[in-house]
């Protein structure tokens, strides 16, 4: 079953010029980007997205960071997309992320870990609704889908 997920290339990934690398890894894996836009995340949206961390000591610095420069947000479809993306990006703490993952290859510490991705299908739905309307999400078939998903 095709699943939909959310991925954000955070400000450090954007200003370091890593968007192409991240997108390339997603596409090479076989995932399909069905919506994408570069935005300046507002405090209001950042606080909704990271609501789960509101009582933690790093919340304020996280919000300041996420709103400090543009981010690239995406809607991504694929079989078990949430799990596949989480494996591609690696552990939240780059020190613990395996080499070959986005965080393992490009990030040095947890406060600047390049990307955010939904950690469950339920959270993907919530996060997608913060950044995209249904009208912005496209539907199309990639030329390699039959090869990727044939039984």
Q: What is the Cα–Cα distance from 65 to 53, expressed in whole angstroms?
A: 14
Active-site residue, from 86, 114, 116, 132: 116
- Contact predicate 86/117, CB 8 Å: yes
- Per the annotation, the verdict on 116 as an active-site residue is yes
In angstroms, what is the C-alpha Rg of the chain?
Answer: 15
- Contact predicate 27/85, CB 8 Å: no
Backbone angles phi, psi at 104, to 5 degrees: -65, -35
Q: Six-digit token pair at 18?
A: 């890593």
Question: Mind telling me the catalytic residues?
Answer: 116
């Amino acid at each position: 079953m095709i699943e939909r997920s959310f991925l954000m290339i955070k400000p450090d990934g954007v200003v370091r010029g890593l968007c192409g690398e991240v997108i390339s890894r997603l596409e090479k894996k076989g995932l399909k980007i069905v919506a994408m836009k570069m935005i300046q995340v507002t405090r209001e949206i950042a606080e909704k997205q990271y609501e789960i961390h509101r009582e933690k000591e790093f919340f304020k610095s996280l919000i300041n960071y996420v709103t400090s420069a543009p981010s690239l947000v995406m809607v991504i479809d694929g079989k078990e997309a949430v799990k596949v993306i989480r494996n591609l990006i690696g552990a939240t703490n780059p020190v613990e992320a395996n080499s070959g993952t986005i965080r393992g290859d490009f990030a040095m510490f947890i406060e600047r870990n390049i990307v955010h991705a939904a950690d469950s299908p339920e959270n993907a739905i919530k996060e997608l609704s913060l950044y995209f309307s249904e009208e912005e999400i496209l539907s199309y078939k990639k030329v390699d889908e039959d090869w990727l998903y044939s039984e």
